[in-house]
Amino acid sequence: MIATDLKTGVIYQEDGQPWQVEKYSHHKTARSGATVKVFVRNLITGETRQKNYLGNNKVEDAFVERKNVQYLYQNNGYIFMDPDTYDQFAVPEKALGGKAKYLKAGETFQVMYFEGKPVSVEFPNSMIFEVVYADPGFKGNTVGNVLKNAQMDGGFTVKVPTFIKKGTKVKVDTRTGSYISKA
């Protein structure tokens, strides 16, 4: 694979480590040719960094296996279960990339395996959560897009419109952590 194939979500291997592209930008100049700048996350260590490649540089493909698993609970890592074999295994917090707050017991997630070891968890683009506390909305706050804080059943806070109340189920974008709609 060449460097210009590196797009968001692509996984490649460098120095024996799997890296996933979080963001990329492609720059082309008349004299020097194409340059690809990528912001990548190491799937094993969780480390993030920016890397630059010339457009014709080669990068090595990483063989990553994906499998649907069920999240169970947290105990020295996050415990998942293979629904086919009922085997349980732990995924370290650094492999979640800061998205552990979206884990819900019993939900199905996709785990990526590199060389037979679980290295990362892929979350759906959106998930449904219940509001357990919402700041009160004030009468007259209807001009424009007024937002207030609401705490979800996962323990995190999201900015929601003023009409959202306690007990309402809402759809949250797991990529940005923002409110999408009522569920």
The residues with which 64 forms a beta bridge, in sequence order, are 114
Q: CATH code at 118?
A: 2.40.50.140
Instruction: Report d(CA 113, CA 18) in Å as an integer.
Output: 10
Residues 152 and 177 in one domain: yes
Residues 57 and 68 in one domain: no
Q: What is the DSSP letter of 124?
A: P
* pLDDT value of position 71: 94
Residues 118 and 135 in one domain: no
Instruction: Report d(CA 120, CA 57) in Å as an integer.
Output: 26
Q: CATH code at 18?
A: 2.30.30.30
Residues 108 and 147 in one domain: no
| Enclosing domain of residue 73 | 64-122
Q: What is the pTM of this model?
A: 0.75
Residues 132 and 168 in one domain: yes
Residues 13 and 48 in one domain: yes
Residues 68 and 118 in one domain: yes
Instruction: Report d(CA 84, CA 82) in Å as an integer.
Output: 6
* Range list of H helices, the chain: none
Residues 52 and 31 in one domain: yes
Instruction: Report d(CA 124, CA 118) in Å as an integer.
Output: 18
Domain boundary pick from 41, 61, 81: 61
Give the total number of structural domains in the chain.
3
pLDDT 10s per residue in the chain (183 long)? Answer: 888 888 888 899 998 889 989 888 888 877 777 888 999 988 888 788 999 888 888 999 888 899 999 999 988 889 999 999 999 998 888 777 678 899 999 999 999 888 888 888 888 889 999 999 998 876 665 666 788 899 999 889 999 988 889 999 999 998 888 999 998
Domain boundary pick from 122, 142, 168: 122
Residues 106 and 69 in one domain: yes
Residues 7 and 56 in one domain: yes
